[in-house]
């Protein structure tokens, strides 16, 4: 049954790997369709890929599994909006990628034969996932005894046992991974780099150019001296039309917020509450119960080393204090707290232990304790702990290793288990109950010794009072009531509010700068029309928010009006360039041109085509491209660059030594091409698949 533990611990990694390494490069935002088309689709369709529907309920199951896996690996009981959005996007991309890949595999007739499937488990070159689980760390190869033992457990299990279900899922993922590898190999085997490619690439990196340039910066003309016309905008827009393709609908809105964060009065009131607990905390004889009843964060009381108390103040105070000493009230991490020294002692730094875990949830705690006691007597009578662990422990990950948990320090285990192993002696057998079941633990070794303390902490977070919230909400309601279609800015200024902007928000956004859990506002934005203001006061954390929709950018090529503000700096430079070009024209040599324009000639050495940077300035693709297309000593025409307008004169090229190893150069180019191709292939397939994303209606 060991594969169950393995799969639980690594399911997220297996799922991601199963999609194939070719898909790792395929990450991108999907097409969003809003409005009536979304809300008119059937209620269980989350999206479509080439006409094939992605079901919401299936996606939801995978999302739930991924969130559970993330919580387990991160140790977080709850996920914030950013983590939730990341996991949602990751699972969605996996769904889309797998749907695209499956269609291509089916169309091409790619299969994994039964012999290939068997070889992934039992062959001379097994799948890396199989080696990872069943491998011997010393050899890096599959431990055949471990694999055979697992097969025996699998064959002995019932047809509907969890071990069979999860093993089937594991094999399916291995098969999907193999199919992905085959598809990727089929595509990338068609890539070819010839000798001419290698020669061009080598020269681009190694051929040196020496040249002179003269330039006039765009900044030399003040912005207020340039008047932009509609024709200027239109000309630039038409020349750069391909840059304005919007892959998904975006919306922008302004908003004001009314702060309902705790006031000074609220903070003082919380501190007073904590101070009132001080006498009873000092006299308490059951500190664990006191914490459970009075603390907001009901942290279990456990022995901790210096640096593990979570607050430098406690490290300073508690190590060396007398038992029963109470510190506080003190402020830490948004709360007022009291801390009581329950106990102190010298304890091992680390423990080596092994255990047998009995499932109390299945047979009941009383029977589990009785079974643990029986096993303890068998071990004390000479039976092998390791053999009994393999037979009886439900923790198969350690059970396969004779119950071995390795060596660990404080903080690695749950408090009940940790207290037992750190407060006992080497060789002791202990029976411990935790939330996982009943453990029979043997302490194999203890190393080092350091002071540890057990500290009970009572905390009361500073929260806004009902009065504080009511005052802020009333102000927000009054602001909303005063709004008309045209007075948002004026009302904000009158109220002394700072207007903030949320630009280019997509339909799935869950956070905005400074705000979390903003889904309700985003949903409103994607139903509103330009100029509409919020139909209610939106409560986001300790802020009361009122938005106004300022722009809608539909999917597809954006109109000039929608990008006008965005392109204004570039258009201004383009207009300035016309004036600067006149100043840099009309001379037979670069020195004459520079003198006429009131600038200087700058020499540059050892610039290569592959790195088109003018030292001290910036990337200048047009300028360096012109240099490498020039004849020596010939003055160029003025060049409109990124930083300003240039004229250049090539002095000479320094050619590199002949390419000595064309094969290696071709291999390097091919490797780079291979890495890029994996993402580019799936981007092309995605565009062809006409991906439709309806997630916004579910989230």
Q: How far is CA 234 from CA 237, 554, 565, 566, in A?
A: 5, 20, 13, 13
pLDDT of res. 102: 87
Element of type H or E holding 673: helix 662-689
Q: Which residue has the higher pLDDT, 663 or 36?
A: 663
Q: What is the spatial distance between Cα 235 and Cα 242, in angstroms, rounded to a whole number?
A: 13
Q: What is the pLDDT of residues 49-108, one digit of tens each?
A: 888 888 888 888 888 888 887 877 666 777 777 788 888 888 888 888 888 888 889 899
pLDDT of res. 184: 85
DSSP 696: G
Q: In this structure, are residues 2 and 396 in contact, taking their beta carbons and an 8 Å threshold?
A: yes
DSSP 629-669: TPPTT-BPPPEE-SSEEEEEEEEEEEPPPPPS-HHHHHHHH
Q: What is the spatial distance between Cα 626 and Cα 604, in angstroms, rounded to a whole number?
A: 14
How many CB atoms lie under 10 A from the CB of residue 372?
25
Q: What is the spatial distance between Cα 308 and Cα 69, in angstroms, rounded to a whole number?
A: 26
Of 466, 547, 532, 568, nearest to 499 by C-alpha is 547
Q: Considering the chain, what percentage of its residues have pLDDT values greater than 90? A: 53
Q: Which residue has the higher pLDDT, 153 or 203?
A: 203
Residue 484: pLDDT above 70?
Answer: yes
As beta bridge partners, residue 245 has: 557
Residue 273: pLDDT above 90?
Answer: yes
Q: What is the pLDDT of residues 471-483, one digit of tens each?
A: 999 999 999 999 9
pLDDT of res. 29: 35
Q: What is the pLDDT of residues 506-518, one digit of tens each?
A: 998 888 888 888 9
Residue 699: pLDDT above 80?
Answer: no
How many whole angstroms from its chain centre is CA 513?
17
Domain locations in the chain as residue ranges: 2-188+691-697, 208-247+561-654, 250-261+465-553, 264-346, 350-447
User: Would you place residue 400 in the very low, low, confident or very high pLDDT band (cuts 50, 70, 90)?
Assistant: confident
CATH classification of 350-447, choosing from 3.10.50.40, 3.30.9.10, 1.10.10.10, 2.40.50.140?
A: 3.10.50.40
**Token representation of residue 675:** 């890495």
* Average pLDDT rounded to a whole number, residues 312-335: 92
Mean pLDDT of the chain: 87
User: Would you place residue 42 in the very low, low, confident or very high pLDDT band (cuts 50, 70, 90)?
Assistant: low
CA atoms within 13 A on the CB side of 628: 21
Helix (H, G, I), strand (E, B) or coil at 418: helix
Q: What is the spatial distance between Cα 252 and Cα 178, in angstroms, rounded to a whole number?
A: 44
Q: What is the spatial distance between Cα 191 and Cα 677, in angstroms, rounded to a whole number?
A: 9
Residue 23: pLDDT above 50?
Answer: no
User: Would you place residue 485 in the very low, low, confident or very high pLDDT band (cuts 50, 70, 90)?
Assistant: confident
pLDDT of res. 39: 38
Residue 225: pLDDT above 80?
Answer: yes
Q: How far is CA 611 from CA 207, 366, 447, 664, in A?
A: 11, 74, 56, 21
Residue 250: pLDDT above 90?
Answer: yes
pLDDT of res. 229: 95
pLDDT of res. 154: 82
Residue 21: pLDDT above 70?
Answer: no
| Torsion angles phi and psi, residue 88, rounded to 5 | -60, -45
Helix (H, G, I), strand (E, B) or coil at 540: strand
User: Would you place residue 26 in the very low, low, confident or very high pLDDT band (cuts 50, 70, 90)?
Assistant: very low
């Amino acid at each position: 049954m060991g594969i169950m533990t393995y799969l639980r611990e690594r399911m997220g990694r297996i799922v991601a790997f199963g999609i194939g390494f070719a898909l790792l490069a395929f990450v991108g935002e999907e097409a969003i369709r809003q409005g009536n088309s979304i809300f008119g689709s059937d209620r269980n369709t989350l999206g479509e890929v080439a006409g094939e529907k992605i079901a919401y309920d299936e996606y939801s199951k995978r999302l739930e599994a991924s969130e559970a896996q993330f919580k387990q690996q991160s140790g977080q009981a709850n996920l914030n909006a950013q983590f939730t959005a990341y996991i949602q996007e990751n699972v969605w991309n996996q769904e889309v990628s797998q749907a695209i890949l499956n269609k291509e595999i089916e169309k091409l007739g790619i299969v994994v034969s039964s012999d290939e499937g068997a070889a992934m488990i039992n062959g001379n070159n097994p799948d890396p996932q199989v080696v990872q689980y069943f491998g011997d760390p010393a050899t890096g190869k599959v431990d055949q005894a471990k694999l055979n033992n697992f097969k025996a457990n699998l064959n002995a299990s019932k047809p509907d046992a969890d071990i069979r279900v999860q093993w089937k899922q594991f094999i399916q993922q291995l098969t999907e991974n193999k199919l992905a590898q085959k598809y990727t190999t089929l595509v990338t085997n068609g890539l070819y780099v010839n000798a001419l490619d290698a020669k061009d690439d080598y020269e681009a990196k190694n051929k040196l150019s020496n040249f002179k340039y003269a330039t006039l910066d765009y900044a030399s003309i003040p912005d207020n001296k340039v008047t932009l016309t509609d024709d200027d905008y239109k000309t630039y827009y038409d020349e750069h039309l391909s840059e304005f393709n919007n892959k998904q609908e975006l919306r922008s809105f302004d908003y004001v917020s009314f702060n309902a964060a705790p006031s000074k009065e609220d903070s003082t009131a919380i501190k007073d509450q904590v101070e009132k607990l001080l006498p009873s905390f000092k006299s308490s004889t059951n500190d664990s119960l006191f914490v459970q009843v009075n603390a907001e964060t009901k942290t279990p009381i456990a022995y901790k080393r210096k640096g593990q108390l979570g607050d430098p103040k406690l490290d300073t105070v508690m190590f060396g204090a007398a038992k029963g000493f109470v510190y506080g009230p003190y402020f830490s991490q948004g709360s007022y707290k009291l801390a009581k020294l329950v106990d102190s002692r010298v304890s091992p730094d680390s423990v080596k232990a092994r255990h047998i875990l009995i499932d109390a949830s299945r047979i009941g705690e009383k029977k589990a304790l009785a079974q643990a006691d029986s096993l303890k007597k068998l071990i004390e009578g000479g039976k092998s702990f390791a053999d009994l662990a393999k037979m009886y422990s439900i923790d198969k990950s350690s059970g396969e290793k004779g119950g071995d948990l390795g060596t660990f320090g404080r903080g690695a285990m749950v408090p009940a288990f940790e207290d037992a192993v750190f407060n006992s002696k080497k060789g002791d057998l202990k029976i411990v109950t935790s939330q996982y079941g009943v453990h029979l633990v043997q302490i194999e070794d203890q190393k080092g010794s350091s002071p540890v303390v057990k500290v009970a902490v009572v905390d009361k977070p500073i929260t806004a009072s009902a009065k504080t919230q009511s005052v802020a909400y009333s102000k927000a309601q009054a602001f909303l009531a005063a709004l008309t279609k045209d007075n948002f800015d004026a009302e904000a200024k009158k109220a002394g509010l700072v207007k903030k902007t949320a630009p280019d928000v997509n339909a799935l956004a869950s956070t905005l700068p400074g705000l979390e859990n903003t889904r309700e506002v985003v949903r409103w934005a994607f139903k509103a029309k330009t100029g509409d203001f919020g139909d209610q006061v939106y409560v986001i954390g300790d802020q009361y928010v009122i938005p106004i929709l300022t722009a809608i950018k539909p999917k597809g090529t954006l109109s000039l009006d929608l990008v006008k503000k965005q392109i204004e700096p570039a258009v201004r430079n383009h207009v300035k360039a016309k004036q600067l070009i006149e100043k840099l024209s009309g001379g037979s040599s670069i020195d004459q041109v520079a003198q006429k324009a009131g600038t200087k000639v700058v020499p540059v050495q050892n610039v290569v085509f592959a790195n088109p940077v003018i030292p001290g300035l910036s990337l200048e693709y047009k300028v360096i491209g012109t240099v490498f297309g020039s004849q020596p000593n010939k003055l160029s025409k003025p060049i409109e660059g990124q930083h300003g307008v240039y004229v250049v004169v090539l002095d000479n090229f320094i050619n590199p030594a002949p390419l000595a190893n064309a094969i290696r150069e071709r291999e390097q180019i091919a490797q780079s091409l291979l890495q890029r191709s994996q993402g580019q292939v799936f981007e092309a397939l995605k565009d062809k698949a006409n991906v439709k994303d309806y997630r916004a209606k579910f989230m």
